[in-house]
Amino acid sequence: MKSTWSDDDAAVCVARYGARVGEDLALRVYASRLIGREPDLVLHGGGNASVKGEHTTVLGDRVPAIFVKASGHDLRVIEPEGFPGLDLAYVRRLRALGALSEAAMVNEFRTHLFDHRAPTPSIETLMHAFIPMRFLDHTHADAILALTNQPESARRVRDALGDDVVLLEYAMAGFDLAKAAADAYDAHPGARAMVLLRHGVLTWGDTARASYETMIDMVTRAETYLDRAASKSPRARTPPVVTSEERARSRLARVAPIVRGLLAARTGDADRPYRRMIVRPLVDRAVLDFVDADGAKALALTPPLTADHLIRTKATPLWIDAPSYDDADSLREQLTRAVAEYVRGYEHYVRTHAPQLATSLAAGDPLPRVVLMPGLGALCAGESGDAAEIARDITAHTLTVKARVAAMGTYAGLAERDLFDMEFDSLQRAKLPNGGEPPLGRTVALITGAAGAIGSGVARGLLRAGCHVVVTDLAGGALDSLVEELRPTFGSRVIGVPLDVCDADAVARGFDAVAATWGGVDLVVVNAGAAHVSRLADMDLEAFRRLERINVEGTLLVLREAARHLVRQATGGDIVVVSTKNVFAPGAQFGAYSATKAAAHQLARIASLELAAADVRVNMVAPDAVFSEGARKSGLWQEVGPDRMRARGLDERGLEEYYRERNLLKARITAEHVANAVIFLASRQTPTTGATIPVDGGLPDATPR
């Protein structure tokens, strides 16, 4: 591992924050970000950092202070506000106590902050406070964990890191660990670092750079030792290539939706019977070599690298023996049995250890967060795409480290009781989302024709409602620019997938791409369509057939693939077809559009009949006169508008006003209104299927009947 410290970049950070928070805290922020950006050191909010200094009170007194990372904050992007300041003199006095419960400890933190609005400091605050060095860094470095998760961990740490490193037996983070670490530091005043067995490594220094570069040095020594030991071990070998990445990825479309469905917890709510998860597949050469290797199951089911990962992955993954990839029914039965067995095992684990908990227990669901499958890789679940990504990254690092240990020795993790204590620790669980989840926060939606006015508006509406959204359209600048527009606001919850609804293979590939990204689809918005203006007497047959391919066959192909996918996932779902008022009130010179959209509407009604038994609800929304969504013009109106404007002697604004005046509510219809109708149906506020919601301001001739 190489140091990435840059004096120039450090100076930029000081220039940005120093005047407000002081140079030391500014450098603390800089060094913390360097650590947070290195996934071999910490993952997704892991690790800790602190700096000691002074705070000036409102009376002008300068008092000793410690600024320590707040619980759950991510070092990679941390700001100065992520280091709440506490009264250091008072906090250090807590070392004299014989015992201090976690609840009491947190109360002491909260009551001795300099700013009552600050976030809660890390559970390891006391360890940082009791050790007197100015800057401290604590990471869960992969290489260090590879050394400490072995039977002879103390010897290996000494051999790798030298005698100027303090070794500390595992203790759960909190008061007891803080006292033990302080005592060990006092007993070894010349030490450069401290290794917390099966937990991580702590380094320190008088400057931010000194502490950071000691961390890099320790990890580099560990990496060098591991490489040398593996090269000398008779176990070292290149694993045989059993499954190609291409073959494994081809299985995802069939397997991921089944697994995602089985990981959905039942709610008891008739309208929304499942609490779904987002699933991030992990398929690469490293994970395939792991799951396909001899002895992989026994190694995979050993404890995690550090107890800090438990809230994301649980204590063990679910392993599937010899998956029946060539027989869909057998595979489903096999997966169903395996998940049920995991649930029984997890419930036994909770019953066994719960009586020893000091506080009341909220167990949560017993379903696995990581599923390992030979021939495929790993499927990692979370309540959101970000949470699933965290589980995925932790899994990748965990399997890599375990394989590294197996190449030179024997992996040995924490005892089950220690794992349970950390998994159900209140401060750890506080890092997880707790209420306030948006209504569609666990829903994956796919929208066809998303680059137009209505499609982009529906995408924005669903994203605001918490959805993970797949925008699809023909490949090109319109789709690419839509993703670029949405990403700054909605981040990784939106992806773009090129999809031609007229091409059956392209439609199937589009659904496969979603399964390979988030595990499956729950809501399909069939929006792609085309228009043509012509009197019947002048109709060009090829122009009519073009609309037929897009509006009818395209709808059929998307409905067909959505049905297959949702039935495979087996947690119900919703399909909303964007219809039109022309189904009920067609217009002159608009025969091709009206007829083909009527056919698509009828297909949707039939789908509602055929899919109800699978709790897949199929509904329609029928908008009228949606001109644009921001800068995105409606494709329909680009086709129809010029003729309508010529016929009425109006410009575009005048035409919009004409259509507004003709509806009963005198309303300007927008894509946001269409999105709201889709959200109403997708959120299942009523037990409705086969229905049409007009979004037209009230057009009596177009009322569904």
d(CA 594, CA 597) in angstroms, rounded, equals 5
d(CA 557, CA 665) in angstroms, rounded, equals 36
* Alpha helices in 162-284, H assignment, sequence order: 175-187, 208-232, 245-262
Q: Which residue has the tokens 């167990």?
A: 363
Hey, what amino acid is at 547?
L
Task: Name the residue among 577, 682, 573 with its Cα closest to residue 257.
Answer: 573
d(CA 222, CA 195) in angstroms, rounded, equals 11
Question: Does the annotation mark 593 as catalytic?
Answer: yes
Residues 6+ apart with CB under 8 A from 550: 501, 502, 528, 529, 530, 596
Catalytic residue among 225, 325, 346, 593: 593
Task: Name the residue among 96, 92, 77, 84 with its Cα closest to residue 29.
Answer: 77
Q: CA angle at residue 580 from 574 to 583, to 5 degrees?
A: 110
Task: Name the residue among 430, 461, 445, 284 with its Cα closest to residue 362.
Answer: 430
Q: Which residue has the tokens 């995105």?
A: 632
Sheet of strand 318-319, all strands in order from the earlier edge strand to the far edge: 278-282, 377-382, 370-373, 318-319
Instruction: Please state, as a whole number, how many other Cβ atoms lie within 10 Å of the Cβ of residue 59.
Output: 6
Task: Name the residue among 226, 247, 241 with its Cα closest to residue 159.
Answer: 226
Find the distance separating the first CA and the last CA of the chain, reported in whole Å: 70
Tell me which DSSP letter residue 98 carries: S
Q: What is the 3-state secondary structure (H, E, C) of 401-437?
A: HHHHHHCCCCCCCCCHHHHHHHHCCHHHHCCCCCCCC
Hey, what amino acid is at 216?
I
d(CA 23, CA 15) in angstroms, rounded, equals 9
Which DSSP helix (H) or strand (E) runs through 608?
helix 591-611
Hey, what amino acid is at 487?
R
Residue 113 contacts residue 65 (beta carbons within 8 Å)? no
Sheet of strand 135-139, all strands in order from the earlier edge strand to the far edge: 85-87, 62-68, 48-56, 135-139, 200-205, 193-196, 165-168
Q: CA Rg, the chain, in Å?
A: 30
d(CA 267, CA 694) in angstroms, rounded, equals 31
Cα dist from 24 to 50, 87, 415, 558, whole Å: 10, 17, 39, 58
Catalytic residue numbers, as ranges: 593
